[in-house]
């Protein structure tokens, strides 16, 4: 049996997923895990990192089994938009609050795609997503993120 890489995109994606999973597991291991009924601060990062590791392993295995495209070049513009959107969120969630920071994250991240066109449907989906995130994370899970940031007296 000849084991050779059939799909370098899946290989690199899987290795990237595994790298982020290992980092997340390492960072999350320093927090209390808790239980599914009473989640500690480490529960979500550990669960998410474990899930990401599973996707990473599946992607690496697929790289050896299924033929696919090779990586020709890195798409720098979309990568910078996605990384920039995460940085903007991290820097603005405290001073501006979750709704504004999340809206900025989504709009900057969407600008990474050549297919994104602002329209009323996209705007309504954005408003619904921000409202859902505020309900789930702030009100139901009690994640300490301000709805109104310090710049607005929150």
Please write the tens of the pLDDT for every residue from 6-50: 888 899 899 999 999 999 999 888 888 887 777 788 888 899 999
What count of residues does the chain have? 154
Quick one: tokens of 126?
């954005």
Mean pLDDT on 68-85: 84
Distance from C-alpha of 70 to C-alpha of 76, rounded to nearest angstrom:
17
Does pLDDT of 77 surpass 60?
Answer: yes
Per-residue pLDDT at 1:
55
- Among 84-88, 93-97, 143-147, which stretch is predicted with the lowest mean pLDDT? 143-147
Please write the tens of the pLDDT for every residue from 96-106: 999 999 999 99
Instruction: List phi, psi (to 5°) of 53.
Output: -65, -40
Per-residue pLDDT at 97:
94
Please write the tens of the pLDDT for every residue from 111-149: 999 898 889 999 999 999 999 999 998 888 888 888 988
Distance from C-alpha of 138 to C-alpha of 143, rounded to nearest angstrom:
5
Q: Global pTM?
A: 0.68
Does pLDDT of 58 surpass 60?
Answer: yes
């Amino acid at each position: 049996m000849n084991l050779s890489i059939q799909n370098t995109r899946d290989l690199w994606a899987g290795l990237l997923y595994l790298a982020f999973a290992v980092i997340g597991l390492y960072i999350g291991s320093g927090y209390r895990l808790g239980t599914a009924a009473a989640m500690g601060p480490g529960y979500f990062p550990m669960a998410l990192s474990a899930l990401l590791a599973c996707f990473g392993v599946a992607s690496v295995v697929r790289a050896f089994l299924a033929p696919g495209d090779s990586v020709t070049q890195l798409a720098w513009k979309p990568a910078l938009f996605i990384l920039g959107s995460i940085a903007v969120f991290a820097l603005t969630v405290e001073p501006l609050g979750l709704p504004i920071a999340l809206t900025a994250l989504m709009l900057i991240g969407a600008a990474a795609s050549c297919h994104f066109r602002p329209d009323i449907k996209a705007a309504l989906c954005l408003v619904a997503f921000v409202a859902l995130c505020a309900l789930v994370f702030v009100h139901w899970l009690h994640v300490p993120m301000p709805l109104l940031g310090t710049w607005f007296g929150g």
